[in-house]
Amino acid sequence: MWRRSFSSTTSALKDKKWDALIIGGGHNGLTAAAYLARAGLSVAVLERRHLIGGAAVTEELIPGFKFSRCSYLQSLLRPSIIRELELGRHGLRLLKRSPSSFTPCLDGRYLLLGPDKDLNRSEISKFSKRDADAYPRYENQLENFCKFMDPLLDSAPPESLQGVFSLKDQLKNRMHKSAFWARFLRQAMTLGQKDIVEFMDLLLSPASKVLNNWFETDVLKATLGTDAVIGTTASVHTPGSGYVLLHHVMGETDGDRGIWSYVEGGMGSVSMAIGNAAREAGAHIVTNAEVSQLLIGDSGAVDGVLLADGTVVHSSIVLSNATPHRTFMDLVPKNVLPDDFIRAIKYSDYSSGTTKINLAVDKLPQFKCCKIGHPDAGPQHVGTIHIGSESMEEIHSASQDATNGLPSRRPIIEMTIPSVLDKTISPPGKHVINLFIQYTPYSPLDGSWGDRAYRESFAKKCFTLIDEYAPAFSSSVIGYDMLTPPDLEREIGLTGGNIFHGAMGLDSLFLMRPVKGWSNHRTPLRGLYLCGSGTHPGGGVMGAPGRNSARLILEDVKTPLS
């Protein structure tokens, strides 16, 4: 089903000049395609792999088991995109998780958290009455910060124009920037000075400082702290890690803030729904169409792309959903871009400490702390299961191993079991399990990810760690697929294996993303735009970079967004 209705032939591409070409059929590229096609532009999406979706894909790698191979949960996809593209009509089905989090402890205790406020109070009270009282205030503060951030996510940054523009365009740009900052200041005033100071503290501080100021319970702080380091190489003690924590709670499911859901059929269903909306609007989506180089016309502007099979496809507008590094270092011809821009792209942080393991198992893990002997799913199986995260010092220790060039001795593992709620992805009685693992250096000093024995040794280390909490887990494994940082780079196109298309430190957000001076999806090469996660507002299955870039392009070509 994942290849349905999408062309795998490039022959039709060369017969016309397209209004816009999109490099990469990830969810952001598909989102941009949908909006551009709805506005009447002729659009072609060129996807290197045999299926669309980029990191949001479903693949049946073991017969009968459908894996969300990279991204595995949904929350960040912007509500405006779900609504405007009618993704529900195009097959998107979200499965809410309640409870949403389970942290087992080796001492026999555990912590459940979720959208049920009474459950949260009861569970946290087992460890600290004070923390149980503080938790609703903590959630309320984060929700207020997310509301403050919402308008920033749904618009391109107010970047200064670079290059030669008419006086009319310059005046329009100044008015746009003035209106943006005026709106931003009005929002800031609604927060008030106290909350603005708290917001700045969250942005600038280590997550450990933020959480220590709120709570006293180690397991609660560690459970919340994983959101601050997920997908990064940072420790909870790294300044600025508080923003990543906020980034991971700013989403929603069906209007419920901060609730992450499974997607029926796996994360590929998100991409398929967006792709169906794009096709319905008239976009042409081609798989097995790898772009090898951008073409530059005599005027110095983009004139299309050259595919790996030699096909030339013409367009004066090209959007790249590839990482900034892949776009500018590999696809743009040499000596076209300014030296300072190339240096900034080259030396951006694309490091990754992430490995994803997808497993097929013949039974659910039975956690010692729950003392439940039957095989049926319980509340502990529904949400994200935090393994090896009983204190923030455990997370920090794991990150220090990677800093020293070694995979974590006791990895931090987020386990999810989507088949508990989604009955379409595994055979009856069997299950699909996702392990999102940190920290694993791109080039470990004690071996190579290209060495099969080394890979298997690390996988078994992860399974053995889970055995400490759920005995005999290892014996339930039917088979698995493992994606280390080099695998994520090679298979999915994520430079360095970074799931965000580039680090999300404070030096690479908003007006600094991907580099300062070029934050609003335009690039120094006329006609080339960025639409991927390497641009504002960043990574995750959000769709905002695709939507925002499409809106900007339609302004540039003077076509209204429908």
* Structural domains of the chain, with CATH: 11-56+80-92+265-348+503-556 (3.50.50.60), 128-258 (no CATH)
- Containing H/E element for 415? strand 412-416
Phi, psi of 200 (to 5 degrees): -65, -35
Cis omega before residue 439 (within 30°)?
yes
Count helices and strands (H / E) in the chain.
17, 22
389 vs 148, 240, 465, CA distance in Å?
30, 20, 11
Residue 410: pLDDT above 70?
Answer: yes
- Counting Cα atoms < 13 Å in the Cβ hemisphere of 226 gives 27
For residue 453, pLDDT over 50 is answered with: yes
| pLDDT at 341 exceeding the cut of 80 | yes
Return mean pLDDT, the chain.
92
| pLDDT per residue as tens digits for the range 72-96 | 999 899 999 999 999 999 999 999 9
- Angstrom CA distances, 465 to 287, 462, 471, stand at 39, 5, 10
Structure confidence at residue 74 (pLDDT): 93
Token pair, residue 100, equals 């949403």
* pLDDT at residue 309 is higher than 70: yes
- Over residues 156-196, the pLDDT tens digits come to 899 887 776 778 778 888 888 888 888 888 888 888 888 89
User: What pLDDT, on the 0 to 100 scale, is given for residue 103?
Assistant: 97
Of 148, 151, 122, 152, the C-alpha closest to 135 is: 122
Region of poorest pLDDT, from 136-140, 189-193, 317-321, 406-410: 189-193
pLDDT at 2: 39
277-307 exposure pattern, b = at least 16 Cβ within 10 A, e = fewer: bbbebebbbbbbbebeebebeeeeebbbbeb
Backbone angles phi, psi at 155, to 5 degrees: -150, 150
Percent of the chain with pLDDT over 90: 79
Do the strands 431-438 and 412-416 form a parallel or antiparallel pair, or are they unpaired? antiparallel
Tokens of 256: 């419920």
Q: For 96-110, 245-259, 358-372, 483-497, which range has the lowest pLDDT when averaged over its residues?
A: 245-259
Instruction: Report the distance separating Cα 455 and Cα 63, nearest Å.
Output: 22
Q: Which residues contact 360 (CB under 8 A, 6 or more apart)?
A: 62, 64, 65, 426, 430, 431, 432, 433, 477, 478, 479, 480
- For the beta sheet containing 110-113, the strands, ordered from the edge strand earlier in sequence to the opposite edge, are 110-113, 101-104, 384-387, 412-416, 431-438, 354-361, 477-483
- Which pLDDT value is given to residue 562? 42
Token digits of residue 76? 């960040």
The share of the chain scoring above pLDDT 70, in percent, equals 96
What strands, in cross-sheet order, belong to the sheet with 528-530?
A: 284-286, 43-46, 20-23, 318-320, 528-530
User: CA separation (Å) from 365 to 384, 437, 472, 480?
Assistant: 13, 17, 8, 16
- The tokens for 488 are 């994520």
